[in-house]
């Protein structure tokens, strides 16, 4: 019997947790390190929309589309329904030609988008005050509380013997004489065969001994979570001035300009008030919408906006998985990367997203 491969995953957000689970599924002995609490940073501050509605290239659409299906299957397998729901999205951020172009693009890709008129929207969302003339309905989409999903996956990993190490920073890597790597952490050294960097926005800082950093253009974003409200909304709502959705406990999760970059100096409490006011305006009745939490997070965004997954160039045995839309993509990417590392099976879905594209950057 051959010994199980030893894999150290650096980062315990949704990407690292998914990768750890997938490596363990394939028989590896996994250790997950995080310099902070388990569950990730961006993952704790995310809107959590699981979608393939926006993808600049066909390859990126194919990856996102496959990721939705994979997330559903994982959710059923691990009974994640407390943290993941699949209500579909109503989208009307744009009007006119831009709206039509989005509909045409999704239709051409076979995404199953439906163009709804005012009355159809009102029937789906009776608590919406001023329904738009048109919206796109994408029923396949969902939303996740990404930090809770990551923590659930990690709990599963731990139950099967995986090692979880919160509050332990990975400082550097160096080759081990017997093969593999020595991982130097704030709590001592570890020996392993493979290292996977799922460090999110911190990927721009690199890691000692790796001699490689990922060019990143991280962006700050704000999410407001409210106290539970009685008024129900039934879909993820993407409107021109606010996007919001409802958790099973009735709390609303809302964001400002989608994928925008929040100015460092922007007044977060004032912006949160604006977001709340916009929600109040959208819903019927005298709504008591109170913010429970205003979260400021950093979106991990590789320089060209696309995911980076696979071998770190020139460093055998070290791999990377860093991306925006990591909530959508994390579970599938984890699975594909685990197969590549442990079984030597590379998926064509990942071929456009290799770290080598930044060589010389």
Ligand X SMILES: Cc1cc2nc3c(=O)[nH]c(=O)nc-3n(C[C@H](O)[C@H](O)[C@H](O)COP(=O)(O)OP(=O)(O)OC[C@H]3O[C@@H](n4cnc5c(N)ncnc54)[C@H](O)[C@@H]3O)c2cc1C
Q: Does 20 bind ligand X (CB under 6 A)?
A: no
Interface pick for ligand X out of 63, 140, 183, 198 (rule CB under 6 A): 198
Interface pick for ligand X out of 300, 302, 317, 331 (rule CB under 6 A): 300
Q: Does 14 bind ligand X (CB under 6 A)?
A: yes
End-to-end distance of the chain based on CA atoms, in angstroms?
43
Q: Does 36 bind ligand X (CB under 6 A)?
A: yes
Q: Does 75 bind ligand X (CB under 6 A)?
A: no
Q: Does 34 bind ligand X (CB under 6 A)?
A: yes
Q: Does 325 bind ligand X (CB under 6 A)?
A: yes
Q: Does 326 bind ligand X (CB under 6 A)?
A: yes
Interface pick for ligand X out of 24, 46, 89, 152 (rule CB under 6 A): 46
For ligand X, the closer of residues 61 and 287 by Cβ is 61
Site string for ligand X, 230-269 (x = CB under 6 A): ----------------------------------------
Q: How many residues bind ligand X (CB under 6 A)?
A: 42
Piece of the chain touching ligand X by CB under 6 A; list 38-46, 80-88, 103-111, 332-340? 38-46
Interface pick for ligand X out of 15, 32, 90, 136 (rule CB under 6 A): 15
For ligand X, the closer of residues 28 and 329 by Cβ is 329
In 10 A of CB 306, how many CB atoms? 20
């Amino acid at each position: 019997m051959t010994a199980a491969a030893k894999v150290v995953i650096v980062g315990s957000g949704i990407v690292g947790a998914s990768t750890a689970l997938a490596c363990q599924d394939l028989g590896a002995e996994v250790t997950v390190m995080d310099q902070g609490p388990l569950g990730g940073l961006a993952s704790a501050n995310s809107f959590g929309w699981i979608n393939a509605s926006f993808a600049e290239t066909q390859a990126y659409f194919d990856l996102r589309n496959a990721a939705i299906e994979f997330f559903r299957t994982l959710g059923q397998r691990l009974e994640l329904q407390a943290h993941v729901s699949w209500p579909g999205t109503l989208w009307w951020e744009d009007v006119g030609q831009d709206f039509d172009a989005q509909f045409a693009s999704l239709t051409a890709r076979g995404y199953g988008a439906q163009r709804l008129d005012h009355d159809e929207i009102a029937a789906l969302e009776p608590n919406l005050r001023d329904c738009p003339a048109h919206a796109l309905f994408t029923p396949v989409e969902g939303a996740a509380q990404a930090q809770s999903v990551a923590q659930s996956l990690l709990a599963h990993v731990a139950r099967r013997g995986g090692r979880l190490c919160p509050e332990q920073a990975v400082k550097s890597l160096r080759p081990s004489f017997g093969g593999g790597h020595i991982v130097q952490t704030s709590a001592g050294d570890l020996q392993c065969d493979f290292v996977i960097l799922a460090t999110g926005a911190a990927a721009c800082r690199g890691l000692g001994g790796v001699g490689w950093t990922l060019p990143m253009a991280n962006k700050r974003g704000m999410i407001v979570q409210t106290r539970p409200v009685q008024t129900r909304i039934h879909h993820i709502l993407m409107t021109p001035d606010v996007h919001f959705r409802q958790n099973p406990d009735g709390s609303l999760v809302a964001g400002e300009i989608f994928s925008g970059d929040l100015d460092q100096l922007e007044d977060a409490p004032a912006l949160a008030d604006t977001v709340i006011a916009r929600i109040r305006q959208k819903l019927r009745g005298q709504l008591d919408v109170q913010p429970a939490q205003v979260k400021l997070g950093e979106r991990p965004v590789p320089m060209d906006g696309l995911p980076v997954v696979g071998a770190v160039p020139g460093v055998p045995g070290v791999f990377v998985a860093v991306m925006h839309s990591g909530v959508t993509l994390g579970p599938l990417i984890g699975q594909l990367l685990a197969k590549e590392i442990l079984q030597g099976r590379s998926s064509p879905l990942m071929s456009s997203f290799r770290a080598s594209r930044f060589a010389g950057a």
